[in-house]
Amino acid sequence: MRVKRYVVDSMPDALQKIRTDLGKDAVILNTKEIRTGGFLGLFGKKKIEVIAAIDGANTNSGGAAQRFAPQPQPQQQKVMSQEQPARIQSHYSDFPDVPDVIAPVSAKKELVTVSTSVETQKSFASQQSYSPVSVNAPNRVILKDEHLMEELKQMKEMMRKLTHASEETNLPEPIQKIEHRLIEQEVDPALVRQIMDEVVADFQLADEPVTDESALQVVRTKLGQVLQSDRSKQISPQTRVVHFVGPTGVGKTTTIAKLAAEQVLKYQRKVGFITSDTYRIAAIEQLKTYGTILNVPLEVVFSPQDLAKAFHNLAECDVIFMDTAGRNFRNEMYVSELNSLLKTQGNSETILVLSLTTKYRDMRAITNNFNKFKLDKVLFTKMDETDSYGAIVNVVHEFSLQLSYVTNGQSVPDDITEMNEWQIIDLLLEEPRA
């Protein structure tokens, strides 16, 4: 029996050295981590100590005969692997230089045959570093945490529903019916609850019974306080430039044509067009067609540097309508470019154009983005394409914007009127149609 001790950095290094020194038939008796160098046992480097051995009959001189000898059957291999530790133990005295390493080897320890294949080396290294418990445990912890979070989420939702139900039971039935109607119209639930609390307080203060008619009248008054404003919805006669901003597809160009027709035909003002919408196919041609019909001049700007020339060419106009490109409102480059286009001299207004067919969640994000440009008014389009009007209340209440116009069709110059708050309130409170 020939036994040899190796101190290496990794198991692949040990396997290579064992194969070179002892041959492919060598067996590994023991492996353990040790530290070498350092001071008083500190700051030492981690190493791996490997004890390998080979039977005297498998040395280089007899290696050829051994390789050509008949291979033992699996049952014989099992018997040999059980007998080898005992044979090695009888030869301990032949190796006085490594008795401290060989002595702790248990007689029951399995002997691992050295393999030169890459798969065996990877398997051995993975067995030294990981165990099934260490690999699977994080997955079990993650699954457990996800299950716990899901249960907490369900409990929270259940508590919210129970709380909301208990609050509803405190409201008189006529007020509950109005609350449900406003929620169905997609009015912000927090605003609805605030209005309902004020209505209940008013009835308690007046000490009057709550009826369907009286509840509708009080809620109507509260909604009027949210939507009404002392400012004019129309374009001011002192306004020199009107900027129209908004996302794609809301109908800015058509709306500009409708308002231009109103200014030309109703107020006899000379109108000019400026468009920076050079991204949408046929956008310039569309506005040019409207300009030809209304006898309104058009200037096209490709960058903020072209604005000075455009304003100079339209110096004789009473009011200038500026159409901006309806691009992605989340694009920061577009935001910066649009901000440069809105820096004009003289009195100006900036009108945000929103479609009533847009979800309020998107409306809020759009308004938040364009609100950086000092929005003055909000104009809603496509009123004829929806039966939900709660977004109007939400935008005015959350962003304190002044209502202006609303469109309800594609006809030019028709299908545009000033926003009537009381008409919107009646639509919000009317009984849903069958």
For residue 174 the two structure tokens come to 């006529």
pLDDT on residue 388: 93
Q: From CA 167, how far away is CA 161, in angstroms rounded?
A: 10
Specify the 3-state DSSP secondary structure of 304: helix
Give every residue of the chain whose pLDDT is below 70, as ranges.
38-43, 56-144, 160-169, 278-282, 326-346, 432-434
For residue 328 the two structure tokens come to 């992605």
Specify the 3-state DSSP secondary structure of 146: helix
pLDDT on residue 305: 80
pLDDT on residue 125: 45
Sketch the domain layout of the chain as residue ranges.
2-129, 134-170, 241-429
pLDDT on residue 345: 62
pLDDT on residue 120: 45
b/e 211-236 (16+ beta carbons within 10 angstroms → b):
eeebbbebbeebbeebbeeeeebebe
Q: From CA 234, how far away is CA 228, in angstroms rounded?
A: 14
pLDDT on residue 2: 84
pLDDT on residue 47: 86
244-274 confidence digits (pLDDT tens) = 988 888 888 899 999 999 999 999 999 999 8
How crowded is residue 47: how many other Cβ atoms within 10 Å of its Cβ? Answer: 17
Are 343 and 245 in contact by the 8 Å Cβ rule? The answer is no
Sign of the dihedral defined by the CA atoms of residues 314, 318, 321, 322, in that order:
positive
* Helix-then-strand count for the chain, H and E: 16, 12
Are 273 and 323 in contact by the 8 Å Cβ rule? The answer is yes
Sign of the dihedral defined by the CA atoms of residues 327, 418, 234, 223, in that order:
negative
φ, ψ for residue 45 (rounded to 5)?
-90, 145
pLDDT on residue 88: 42
pLDDT on residue 40: 59
pLDDT on residue 337: 63
pLDDT on residue 29: 81
- Domain 241-429 class, CATH top level: alpha beta
Mutual orientation of helices 212-227 and 189-206 as an angle, nearest 10°? 120
Can you list the pairs that 341-346 forms with residues at least 24 positions away whose Cβ atoms lie under 8 Å? 341/243, 341/276, 341/301, 341/304, 341/307, 342/243, 342/245, 342/373, 343/304, 344/240, 344/241, 344/243, 344/307, 344/311, 345/311, 346/240, 346/241
pLDDT on residue 416: 93
DSSP-derived secondary structure letter, 263? I
Q: How far is CA 121 from CA 8, 14, 226, in A?
A: 15, 10, 75
| Burial category of 76 from C-beta neighbours within 10 Å (exposed 0-12, middle 13-18, buried 19 and up) | exposed
pLDDT on residue 278: 66
173-183 confidence digits (pLDDT tens) = 999 999 999 99
pLDDT on residue 96: 41
Tell me the residue ranges of DSSP E strands in 204-327: 241-245, 271-275, 298-300, 319-323
pLDDT on residue 357: 94
What's the alpha-carbon Rg for the chain, to the nearest Å?
A: 42
Q: From CA 417, how far away is CA 234, in angstroms rounded?
A: 10
Q: How far is CA 385 from CA 43, 84, 212, 358, 388, in A?
A: 76, 89, 30, 11, 9
